[in-house]
A and B are shown apart, each in its own frame.
Chain A
Amino acid sequence: MTDAATNTADLQANTDDDEFVPAGPGIEIKNLYKIFGPDPKKWIGAVKGGMGKEELNRKHGHVLGLTDISLSMPPGKITVIMGLSGSGKSTLIRHVNGLIDPTAGEIICDDADVCQMSVEELRNFRRARTAMVFQKFALLPHRTVLENTCYGLDIQGVPRATSEPVARRWIDRVGLKGFEDNYPSQLSGGMQQRVGLARALATDADILLMDEAFSALDPLIRLDMQAVLLELQEELQKTIVFITHDLDEALRLGDRIAILRDGRLEQVGSGQQIVQHPANDYVSAFVREVNRGRVLQAATVARPLPQDNLPDMQLPGKIVLEEAARRMIAAGASQALVVGARNKPRGVLNVSDVLTAMVQPTETNSSQPKGG
């Protein structure tokens, strides 16, 4: 499993060659273990030696939360950690800002290990570098929208005269203009999470942790919020860690997706890689339910460039197959040239390639993503 993860990570590096990568810290998680129980240190050796979750729980009454997690989260990108409930995804995200201490392992951010920070250092790290958005919003009920948005800056000791204009700007950006003086209880769930987002953005932290931020919202509102997030990210280029149990959401948002199961990483890669080349049965069982036509991109399924006879029609590599098919049908073309950034030709797409890629591969077997 870890082999597959490293392989696909290499693949990821190849496909992103012509994209702008902003400078920034990024987060590097190295060999992270978390055991819950009265005396975790006592069992870490046994777990590293291969003791399983079952045995640890049954014989020694400790719960194995995370096992040997190594994951690099590139700067300025959205890394989605996807897993079902109990997979340890919420535990993992809480390690990034030190809300949970690991039993073993490192979390490197800017050459500093978050796990080794003193209380004071950790507090300053949280104030200046990270912001968090919560599943159930976690707004302060006695504060208005404006005051809630100022919250992070209040804690940093920024006077209201300075923080209020900043907060107003972010409230405007998330589409809540006019609601500044309302209390959270007067707002709908989607609007409350917009406040949560504005609160997190107002501190100008470069790392944004989103713990199932949109899971409590209605499906349509969720799509709406995903669009808001992507639009903001286009401009802000923050290092975002996004937790979800929904693969569609992961594919829509994630530049990089890590699939977690029972505290282990099953696969890490771009959404394209995960849909095209699931590392194992567990991942392919998830992927089977995905609408491939709306996920796979033209560049992913394009054939290598031929020597000559380049087709006239051009398609951007980033568009999904459904859109590619629509445009090719409209143009009456059977072939199209797929171009990357700055119109660089990257491959050729046939209508039959599009169809083949959109149809589920038949050789998937019947293991279910549920259970475990």
Chain B
Amino acid sequence: MAATCWSLPDALCRFPALDNGTLREVRKTVDGGFRDLVRNYSDWIDAATAPLQVFLNTLERTFTSTPWLIVLIVLLVLVWASSRSMKIVGGTAIAMVLIGWMGLWEDTMVTLAMVSVCTILAVILGLPIGIIAARSDRMQRLVNPVLDVMQTLPSFVYLIPVVVIFGIGKVPGVIAVVIYAVPPMIRLTNLGIRMVDSEVLEAAEAFGSSPRQKLWNVQLPLALPALMTGVNQTIMMSLSMVVIASMVGVGGLGKNVLQAINNQFFTMGFLNGFALVAIAIVFDRASQAFGHRLQKHREVRHD
């Protein structure tokens, strides 16, 4: 290699990196320190995550142990309640029956429980953060780079500290999925509120609105299309992340996909993948239709 070095001094040829010994020391110190820290606080961490753990287990058990017919009926009623569309309800029924017929009912239930919890958590976290970011430019400047990191850092990378801190299981899975799914909620909430017509906002101000009244009467309702897109994106990202989360011990369809990758089970991989797609479409259509129903003033135009 040195022969191709245009007869330059060594320092200009090879990047003067830290030597391997030092790097090894740095790694060992950081990793070791981190591990010790986690070990010292492990009781505290376990105690803090216990409620979430219990909640997740209970929810999963409820989904899997309830007779399938009841789950199916409840699901269809929920889809009807949010969309009021027989087409979407029919599609949901067909998709769920096909999934069950392929023997994936239980895995699907596990995944559904997981995705529901993750979506709810992401919305509960993302909405207030988005509102705060929309209210102050300084906060937005603070939040944006964090979101950039969350969205571009490969999920495998932040799975490592999550596993070190929380171990293997559902809780680290939920945390990993929420980290992945919350940025669009925050971004779209922020954007939606910032895009609200400034004249309408001025009108709210002129009639003496308090900041809270402005938020509830004007900003959130007018930002609703963006908020619904945010919820929708969060659901989609949760669903795509449950496959990766299966590497840290989350069960369900994701685990099957992981097994299929490891063993090159072509059919199994695709069946489970399509089951995920089916759930995604059901969620997507139902939440979109719900969003449209909330904005019924947009559909009516004068003729």
Q: Does B197 contact A (CB under 8 A)?
A: yes
Complex contacts, A188 vs chain B, CB 8 Å:
302
| Stretch of B142-150, B164-172, B217-225 lying at the A interface | B217-225
Separation in Å of the B212 CB from the closest CB of chain A? 11
Choose one: A132, A135, A136; the contact of B206 (CB below 8 Å). A132
Encoded as 1 (CB less than 8 Å from any B CB) or 0, chain A from 178 to 207 comes to 000011111110000000000000010000
Complex contacts, B297 vs chain A, CB 8 Å:
141-143, 183-185
A139 to B217, CA, bound (A): 12
Contact (Cβ within 8 A) A140 B221: yes
A203 to B209, CA, bound (A): 13
Encoded as 1 (CB less than 8 Å from any A CB) or 0, chain B from 219 to 253 comes to 00110100000000000000000000000000000
Secondary structure call for the B interface: helix
| Stretch of A121-129, A251-259, A274-282 lying at the B interface | A121-129
Encoded as 1 (CB less than 8 Å from any B CB) or 0, chain A from 315 to 341 comes to 000000000000000000000000000
Contact (Cβ within 8 A) B301 A130: no
Q: Does A138 contact B (CB under 8 A)?
A: yes
A102 to B200, CA, bound (A): 22
Contact (Cβ within 8 A) A140 B218: yes
Chain B residue nearest in CB terms to A144: B297
Contact (Cβ within 8 A) A99 B205: yes
Q: Does B16 contact A (CB under 8 A)?
A: no
A128 to B206, CA, bound (A): 11
Complex contacts, A136 vs chain B, CB 8 Å:
199
Choose one: B206, B210, B218, B221; the contact of A97 (CB below 8 Å). B206
A126 to B208, CA, bound (A): 5
A268 to B165, CA, bound (A): 75
Separation in Å of the A95 CB from the closest CB of chain B? 12
| Stretch of A26-34, A149-157, A231-239 lying at the B interface | A149-157
Complex contacts, A99 vs chain B, CB 8 Å:
202, 205-206
A125 to B224, CA, bound (A): 31
Complex contacts, A152 vs chain B, CB 8 Å:
207-208
With contact pairs A134-B199, A134-B202, A140-B221 given, residues A155 and B209 touching in the complex (Cβ less than 8 Å): yes
Complex contacts, A138 vs chain B, CB 8 Å:
197, 199-200, 202-203
Interface centre among A126, A132, A142 (most CB of B within 10 A): A142
Contact (Cβ within 8 A) B295 A183: no
Complex contacts, A66 vs chain B, CB 8 Å:
none
Q: Does A247 contact B (CB under 8 A)?
A: no
Complex contacts, A140 vs chain B, CB 8 Å:
200, 217-218, 221-222
A186 to B205, CA, bound (A): 25
A209 to B208, CA, bound (A): 14
Interface size on A, residues (CB 8 A): 34
Contact (Cβ within 8 A) A155 B203: no
Interface centre among A125, A186, A187 (most CB of B within 10 A): A186
Interface size on B, residues (CB 8 A): 24
Complex contacts, B207 vs chain A, CB 8 Å:
126-127, 131-132, 151-152, 155, 203
Q: Does B85 contact A (CB under 8 A)?
A: no
Separation in Å of the B225 CB from the closest CB of chain A? 11
Contact (Cβ within 8 A) A142 B222: yes
Complex contacts, A139 vs chain B, CB 8 Å:
200, 203
With contact pairs A123-B208, A151-B207, A186-B300 given, residues A142 and B197 touching in the complex (Cβ less than 8 Å): no
Q: Does B87 contact A (CB under 8 A)?
A: no
Q: Does B298 contact A (CB under 8 A)?
A: yes
Complex contacts, A124 vs chain B, CB 8 Å:
208
A71 to B206, CA, bound (A): 22
Choose one: B210, B224, B300; the contact of A123 (CB below 8 Å). B210
Complex contacts, B209 vs chain A, CB 8 Å:
123, 155
Encoded as 1 (CB less than 8 Å from any B CB) or 0, chain A from 148 to 179 comes to 00011011100000000000000000000000
Chain A residue nearest in CB terms to B303: A186
Interface centre among B204, B205, B224 (most CB of A within 10 A): B205
Encoded as 1 (CB less than 8 Å from any A CB) or 0, chain B from 71 to 82 comes to 000000000000
Chain B residue nearest in CB terms to A135: B199
Contact (Cβ within 8 A) B208 A127: yes
Separation in Å of the A3 CB from the closest CB of chain B? 35
Interchain residue pairs with CB less than 8 A apart (22): A99-B202, A126-B205, A131-B206, A131-B207, A132-B207, A134-B203, A138-B200, A138-B202, A139-B203, A140-B200, A140-B221, A140-B222, A142-B295, A151-B217, A155-B217, A156-B208, A183-B297, A185-B297, A186-B300, A186-B302, A203-B207, A209-B206
Given contacts A126-B207, A182-B300, A187-B302, 19 further A-B contacts (CB under 8 A): A99-B202, A123-B210, A126-B208, A132-B207, A134-B199, A135-B199, A138-B203, A139-B200, A140-B218, A140-B222, A141-B297, A142-B221, A142-B224, A142-B295, A151-B217, A155-B207, A185-B300, A186-B302, A203-B207
7 closest A-B pairs by beta carbon, nearest first, are A127-B208, A126-B208, A138-B203, A183-B297, A132-B206, A138-B199, A186-B302
